[in-house]
Amino acid sequence: MSVTEKLREALLDLEEARKKEAQQRQTAEALLAGLQVLTTNEPNQIFPRLFDVLQNPLDFRAAFILAEGEDGLLLPIAMSDPRFHKTVWKPGASFHRAMKGNTLAIFDTAEVGEWQNQSQALRKKDRSALIFYVGSSIRPALFVCTHPERAHFSRRHINLAHRFSILAVQAMMKFEADHRVVLLEQRLETETKVAELHRKLAESEKKLARIQKLESIGILAGGVAHDFNNLLHAMRGNIELLAGSASLDPQGTTRLQSVIRSMDRAAQLVQQLLLFSRKAEFRRVRVDVNQEVKDVARMLERSIPRMINLAMRLDPTLYPVPGNPVQIEQILLNLANNAVDAMPKGGRLEVKTCNVVLDEDFVRLNPGSTPGRHVLLTVTDTGSGMDKDVLDHVFDPFFTTKEVGKGTGLGLASVYGIVKAHDGFIQCSSEPGKGTTFKVFLPAMKQEDVGEMDSQPEASFQGGSQGGSETILVVDDEPEIRELTREALESLGYAVKEAVNGEEALRGYKEYGQSIDLVLLDMNMPGMGGHECLHELLRINPSVKVVIASGYTANGHGKGTLTSGAKGFISKPYRLRELAVMVRRVLDEAGAGAE
């Protein structure tokens, strides 16, 4: 092959890599933009904005949402093209399949019964379609994308639809919830003589709707964090391999280390998303909240401006709480830092603790709270305060009133997630010019558990990182991650086999099971997911060695898999050294997985 031909081939490979990177970036940007859609306060703008977000990745010309009516027919509740406004759709075989959760690509709508009942003008403009389920057990619904060309939608579009389906489902949930809130508010405006009890009930329902919205965003945030972790993992791993190249000059190594540090900061943002979505769970230990306040106060005294007076009022008889001391410290730091930012000219920051008992009346008026003994942590500042509009969004992810570059909008969102993960409840009250108060209610430890729960953090893992000659089956639907993992493991001496999903992994294990020493299994894959694949592998061979790889934490997404038979868990994005240590540790454990 001549130099020119080699150069042309290299350029083609580079162009293909750039194309894949652009598609991944477009998908990630669409998921992030979708998260912003769910924060809108205008229900009628949810689906128009969602259509705008998904149009480029899914490459459709028109889209509409069909929801099931009382007579079983499907009616459009949102559309990107007004020509669908008065259409009525009778479900046929295709729609029935989609209603069961299948994603369908229709190559020619003229051959499908649902379109045969529509006007000729509509059929001419919609020659192919992509359909996926976005409803709930309460109201079934379909997301339908169309294109004027036959056979336009491919396997790539189906895979993208799998990723975006959770976004559309949460948009549907928010649309329904927000419309319920709107109807409630309209009714209350006409009932001027309603009793005070009704007013309190309406306020409770609004709080519940707000909690449901945050829950919906939390589900999406966990999915976004998972996809970001996959992207970060692929990029970081390749850069680690490149940084270790002997041919790289010192300046290049320094630049790559700077990129790695930036990726670590991005991973920290993903961790905050996981905290908000409550995917980052933890082992509960006995926590003295007073001691956490004192520790944080010592840090703040060295960092906050001198014109801010820090005061503590701590109840010496405070109940212990079951929780994670690092996360409770993060609650305090986030609330304190927000308070400091609100007092640029100085003021007073007060942290108070006390014991409270929440009764049924409090719980009824404050959805999300629970009755019983609680520790109340109160953080109060004399800063600029917030108006009602800001207060309504104070826990929304990516919502910030700070200048560009001075806040991610994830600080209070992660506080909300941590409190909810501790089965707690948080309130915020504020007025412009009158400061802000946050009240965090944390359930106290049950008296019968006080002497049983230990107060020591989990020990850190220790192990070697040498390689080996065993055979490892890598199961991941992301080709970049499979290639990176193969290269890393082969550099350590291992033999590597690959599978793109759970089904292929089972076929490969049945064929090569005698020679496979370990399975590295991704959790979140289209088709058969990691949980089901693990179950089937254990059914084939109860002593199989499986290491779970996931964008969630071991105590979160992977908690069930570790108790179900997996030998180890590694959280994405992981360092290649961490992968080497984990693989070697599991392989060296007593009781080899031989059949």
Token pair belonging to 281:
């769970």
Query: 285-449 in CATH: which number?
Result: 3.30.565.10
Average pLDDT, the chain: 78
Give 225's pLDDT tier (boundaries 50, 70, 90): low
Give 6's pLDDT tier (boundaries 50, 70, 90): low
Token pair belonging to 390:
């800001």
Give the CATH H-level superfamily of domain 471-588: Response regulator (3.40.50.2300)
In this predicted structure, what is the pLDDT of residue 438?
93
Q: Cis peptide before 76, with omega less than 30 degrees from 0?
A: no
First to last CA, the chain: 48
What span, in angstroms and rounded, lies between the C-alpha atoms of 524 and 431? 44
| Mean pLDDT in residue range 213-232 | 58
Buried b (16+ CB within 10 A) or exposed e, 484-508: bbbebbeebebebbbbbbbebbbeb
Give 17's pLDDT tier (boundaries 50, 70, 90): low
What span, in angstroms and rounded, lies between the C-alpha atoms of 316 and 285? 20
Got the DSSP string for 79-115? ESSGGGTT--B---HHHHHHHTT--EEES-GGGSHHH
Got the DSSP string for 207-240? HHHHHHHHHHHHHHHHHHHHHHHHHHHHHHHHHH
Token pair belonging to 200:
């309190």
> 314 by DSSP, 3-state: which?
coil
**pLDDT, tens digit, for every residue of 256-302?**
777 776 666 666 556 655 555 444 445 578 889 999 899 888 878 87
| Mean pLDDT in residue range 97-114 | 90
Residues 6+ apart with CB under 8 A from 511: none
Token pair belonging to 236:
């970081």
Distance set, CA 64 to CA 81, 105, 115, 131, 261 (Å): 8, 15, 14, 10, 43
**pLDDT, tens digit, for every residue of 138-153?**
678 899 999 999 999 9
Token pair belonging to 322:
């079951």
Whole-prediction pTM: 0.41
What residues does CATH 3.40.50.2300 cover in the chain? Answer: 471-588
Give 36's pLDDT tier (boundaries 50, 70, 90): confident
The kind and range of the H/E element at 357 are strand 347-358
Backbone angles phi, psi at 425, to 5 degrees: -145, 140
Distance set, CA 299 to CA 107, 294, 295, 406 (Å): 63, 9, 7, 21
What span, in angstroms and rounded, lies between the C-alpha atoms of 434 and 426? 20
Residues 484/238, Cβ–Cβ less than 8 Å: yes
Helical segments of 244-343, H only: 250-277, 289-303, 325-341
Residue percentage of the chain with pLDDT more than 70? 70
Residue 43 DSSP one-character state: G
**pLDDT, tens digit, for every residue of 379-391?**
999 998 988 888 8
What span, in angstroms and rounded, lies between the C-alpha atoms of 591 and 595? 11
In this predicted structure, what is the pLDDT of residue 329?
81
**pLDDT, tens digit, for every residue of 435-483?**
999 999 999 998 766 555 554 333 333 334 468 899 999 999 888 788 8
**pLDDT, tens digit, for every residue of 501-515?**
999 999 999 888 789
In this predicted structure, what is the pLDDT of residue 460?
33
In this predicted structure, what is the pLDDT of residue 126?
87
Got the DSSP string for 446-503? PGGGTTTS--PPPPPP-------S-EEEEE-S-HHHHHHHHHHHHHTT-EEEEESSHH
- Whether residue 101 is predicted with pLDDT greater than 80 in this model: the reply is yes
> What is the amino acid identity at position 393?
H
Residues 583/490, Cβ–Cβ less than 8 Å: no
What residues does CATH 3.30.450.40 cover in the chain? Answer: 18-193
- Whether residue 43 is predicted with pLDDT greater than 90 in this model: the reply is no
**pLDDT, tens digit, for every residue of 344-369?**
889 999 999 999 999 988 888 787 78
What span, in angstroms and rounded, lies between the C-alpha atoms of 184 and 39? 19
**Lowest-confidence region among 126-135, 370-379, 393-402, 484-493:** 393-402
The kind and range of the H/E element at 537 are helix 530-540
- Whether residue 234 is predicted with pLDDT greater than 60 in this model: the reply is yes
Q: How long is the chain?
A: 595
Torsion on CA atoms 468, 469, 472, 477, rounded to nearest 10: 80
In this predicted structure, what is the pLDDT of residue 554?
44
The kind and range of the H/E element at 442 are strand 436-443
What span, in angstroms and rounded, lies between the C-alpha atoms of 458 and 98? 45
In this predicted structure, what is the pLDDT of residue 358?
92
In this predicted structure, what is the pLDDT of residue 184?
64
Residue 60 DSSP one-character state: -
H helices, E strands: number in the chain = 18, 17
- Whether residue 189 is predicted with pLDDT greater than 70 in this model: the reply is no
Give the CATH H-level superfamily of domain 18-193: GAF domain (3.30.450.40)
What residues does CATH 3.30.565.10 cover in the chain? Answer: 285-449
Give 557's pLDDT tier (boundaries 50, 70, 90): very low
3-state helix, strand, coil in the chain (%, to 5): 50, 15, 35
- Whether residue 218 is predicted with pLDDT greater than 60 in this model: the reply is no
| Mean pLDDT in residue range 320-330 | 83
- Whether residue 194 is predicted with pLDDT greater than 70 in this model: the reply is no
Token pair belonging to 32:
């992030």
Helical segments of 126-154, H only: none
* Total Cβ atoms within 10 A of residue 278: 20
Higher pLDDT, 258 or 51: 51
In this predicted structure, what is the pLDDT of residue 123?
75
Residues 6+ apart with CB under 8 A from 60: 54, 130, 145, 146, 147
- Whether residue 560 is predicted with pLDDT greater than 60 in this model: the reply is no
In this predicted structure, what is the pLDDT of residue 593?
44
**pLDDT, tens digit, for every residue of 517-539?**
999 998 878 888 888 899 999 99
* Sheet containing 62-68: order of strands: 74-79, 62-68, 141-147, 128-133, 104-106
Residues 153/178, Cβ–Cβ less than 8 Å: no
Higher pLDDT, 545 or 46: 545
